[in-house]
Structure 1
């Protein structure tokens, strides 16, 4: 009578291998193809290699470490360091991120051709900016922010998330209004987000936008 095979199969080995990988600090899935974390350590790079990233967007002021830069280069991952831009404009002391940084980061995030995307943000606040664009209510935005801050949430960050006012402009409309040289908004505190062309917007964003529009129409 032949012996019974009791060894670990390839599927179990793969599960064990993935289990042993170390995810980055405050790692999470934001939406389909969008990930987040607050810091990257060389120990996390093997884990990142399982995500098939297309781009890493760093919003932190410090330059990504050499191991992270080498990892991105070796894996053909675009590494964008937007944190070099000023975070707190003099005229808007409550602003955690500059308007330019918000627009630039969202341009990358809302381009499905760049996905999967990893947002590297030590403040844990930028996902709240995206949630604002998705029309989440403030209490839900703050609850998510606190959950990922691990007890290190900041009052001024929550003020920023509360005061933040984003307005989406379709790509074609933004081009026309820019050519007319007219201001996109008369509200100086409002941040105008020029969306990428519709054909590159992620499906989840277009779906949520349609639901929001239907809700507005039902209320009118």
Structure 2
């Protein structure tokens, strides 16, 4: 009996010793409830995750510039001929004009892109073939304004004649598409602000563009060594000594500048600064 009453001598101890077995059911119930809640939460999370899976994460459209794209001056750009994959990028430039120096006809996709976005496509590279129709075609493009006041005028462009025997020498000394008249007319386009923003292109993005922009740098009064550095930077191991000679021998006095108010501001300011610097030099020193 004493052994039976022994636990009662310490009721607190008895309560403590029996409490785990007494509270086991609630604990089990609590664990079961917790597990059920966890399962419910997991199920809800799984359901929520499953619900949102079909919605793809939005991504920005791929914008790829044309090969050898670069800025030449404010609102003047250069590149190889844009492919269809480059049109999204070209659109961001908000171009008014694309000047193509390549002899190949523009692709249908580029022609359609220019028409859709109101970009004037001047294809001077066709002059390589001495086409009789090109002048009329380009003047027609200039007149095709769709009501937009652009002030574009191609009346200064040279007439197109089949190459005479003496002019064939130019084809042997530079890129096949490049002639003195082509460079002169292209420079007059580049120096007329109403054509800007403008992208100059050729098939490679190197040769015809390299010659034209080398002559532009001469007009900007860059020294010839710096002009060669820029040309070779883009041309790499494809640089041509004949192109470099063309730039070196090009006579900038042949260029007829547009009116002062039509010149790009950066060109006008640079020439004025150079003239002021020359005037400040004492001729007697």
Same fold per TM (> 0.5)?
Answer: yes
Gaps of 5+ in 1: 1-12, 168-191
Counterpart of 1:90 (choices 147, 163, 168) is: 168
Matches within 5 A, 1:9-28: 17=60, 20-28=62-70
Q: Distance between the aligned counterparts of 2:174 and 2:251, measured in 1?
A: 11
* Residue of structure 1 equivalent to 2:189: 108
1:216 correspondence with 2:278: yes
- Evaluate the alpha carbon distance shift between residue 52 and residue 91 of structure 1 in structure 2; reply closer, same or farther with a 3 A threshold: same
Report if aligned partners of 2:76, 2:198 keep a CA contact under 8 Å in 1. Answer: yes
Secondary structure at 1:151 match in 2: helix
Relative distance call for 1:90 and 1:204 in structure 2 (3 A) is: same
Flag as ranges the 4+ runs of structure 1 deviating above 6 A.
Answer: none
Count matched residues.
Answer: 181
Aligned equivalents of 1:218, 1:38: Cα separation in 2: 42
Matched, 1:206 2:268: yes
Picking from 239, 257, 264, the partner of 1:153 is 239
TM-score (norm 1): 0.76
Shift, 1:134, TM fit: 0.6
Aligned residue for 1:176?
none
Distance 1:152 1:91, change over 3 A: closer
CA-CA distance at 1:95 after TM superposition: 5.1
Q: TM-score, normalized by length of structure 2?
A: 0.59
Report if the CA contact (8 A) 2:95-2:199 is conserved: yes
- Counterparts of 2:107 and 2:236, CA distance in 1: 24
Report the CA distance between 1:151 and its aligned residue: 2.9
Q: Which moved more, 1:91-100 or 1:43-52?
A: 91-100
Deviation by residue 1:82-132 (Cα, 9 ceiling, x = unmatched): 001139932545355222212221221111111100001331312111111
Q: Which has the higher helix share?
A: 2
* Conserved? CA contact 2:174–2:242, under 8 Å: no
CA distance in 2, matches of 1:160, 1:101: 13
- Provide the alpha-carbon RMSD of the alignment: 2.1
Following the alignment from structure 1 to structure 2, what is the Cα–Cα distance between the partners of residues 80 and 50? 20
Q: Aligned pair 1:193/2:255, yes or no? A: yes
Deviation track 1:65-92 (CA, whole Å, cap 9, x = no partner) reads 1111100000000000000113993254
SS in 1 for 2:215: helix
1:44-78 Cα distance to aligned partner (Å, 9 max, x none)? 11100000000000011111111111000000000
| C-alpha distance in structure 2 between counterparts of 1:91 and 1:208, whole Å | 35
Q: State the distance in 1 between where 2:91 and 2:119 align.
A: 10
Distance in 2 between residues matched to 1:213 and 1:94, nearest whole Å: 33
8 Å contact kept, 1:142–1:161: no
Change (3 A) 1:76 1:138: same
Specify which structure has the higher proportion of strand: 1
Do the aligned partners of 1:26 and 1:149 also contact (CA within 8 Å) in 2?
no
Partner of 2:14: none
- Partner Cα separation in structure 1 for residue 230 and residue 95 of structure 2: 23
| Larger Rg computed on CA atoms | 2
